[in-house]
Amino acid sequence: MSAAGAWAISESCACASAVGINGPDLARQAQVIHRNGPHVEAALPVRTIAAEPEPLAVDIGRMALVIIDMQRDFLEPGGFGAALGNDISRLKSAVGPCADVLAAARRAGILIIHTREGHRADLTDAPPIKVERGDPAMRIGALGPMGRILVRGEPGHDIIPELYPVAGEPVIDKPGKGAFYQTDLELMLKNRGIETLLVCGVTTEVCVNTTVREANDRGFRCVVLSDCCASYFPEFHDMGLKMIKAQGGIFGSVSASGAAIAALSAASS
């Protein structure tokens, strides 16, 4: 089949799905041109994910999993989060569901991106108002139990072993709370033709919420997995999710690991 013919079939399938002819759980059989190169590959199916404020029909082939800031400094004893007096067990509750979704995403073969918040060793990319917050002994760049706090390359800056990236999974090192700020995340997603983001990570009200808002402004649809996110403050977690799905999904949708795994597993079967 010619490239033009392949695109024509792909487009017709997409249009039919949009008006409900194919149904949300019917796999597309067309061959499509991969957006990253000239080779041809089979499209993944469209699946429905249970979510609030309403279920979503998503093209699994245009979906990516983004796992935000599951770093040792935030989640492990002796890290930055614990040093600030936070109960890290509240963040650890998200690790198991995240690991399950990550495994399902790997089986489905979708794009997986991890992020880490941190700064250059000389802190030239860290605004003074960020560095100067709090106790000087616990500030960004100070020496902590796992190396200098939130400095790239230090042990505490790295991702926890349970969710560690494998070869081929990009890691975005971000200097801010949002994953799009001063990074090439948007370019990576658009190069792959991604439309929908499954979002996991910590903390719900800070880096997750900031990233979802950035993504929404850039035209990406976000599905935040509630049990794959967490906060040191349970009320902030709850309110952060409510803000995302309010007013018909002003910033995105909220779902859970089980619904995402069901969609990914069906796509990979």
Active-site annotation, residues: 69, 174, 207
Phi, psi for 245 (deg, rounded to 5): -90, 0
pLDDT tens, residue order, the chain (269 aa): 443 433 333 333 333 333 333 333 433 333 333 334 443 344 678 999 999 999 999 999 999 999 999 999 999 998 889 888 899 999 999 999 999 999 999 999 999 999 999 999 999 999 999 999 888 888 999 998 899 999 999 999 999 999 999 999 999 999 999 999 999 999 999 999 999 999 999 999 999 999 999 999 999 999 999 999 999 999 999 999 999 999 999 999 999 999 999 999 988 77
Q: Cα separations (Å) of 54 from 165, 166, 229, 246?
A: 31, 33, 20, 11
Q: Cα separations (Å) of 96 from 11, 158, 163, 230, 234?
A: 38, 18, 9, 12, 18
> Can you give the pTM of this predicted structure?
0.84
In the block, residue with structure tokens 């487009």: 11
Q: Cα separations (Å) of 30 from 7, 33, 98, 114, 126?
A: 9, 10, 32, 31, 48
The pLDDT assigned to 10 comes to 34
The pLDDT assigned to 138 comes to 87
The pLDDT assigned to 2 comes to 40
The pLDDT assigned to 134 comes to 81
Nearest in space to 60 (alpha carbons), one of 166, 171, 192? 192
The pLDDT assigned to 43 comes to 60
Q: State the Cα–Cα distance between residues 250 and 99, nearest whole angstrom.
A: 28
Q: How many CB atoms lie within 10 A of CB 266?
A: 15
Nearest in space to 225 (alpha carbons), one of 88, 109, 66, 47? 66
Strand 171-174 vs strand 196-202: parallel, antiparallel, or unpaired? unpaired
258 contact partners, CB below 8 Å, separation of at least 6: none
Q: Which two tokens stand for residue 165?
A: 């990236």
In whole angstroms, how large is the CA radius of gyration of the chain?
Answer: 19
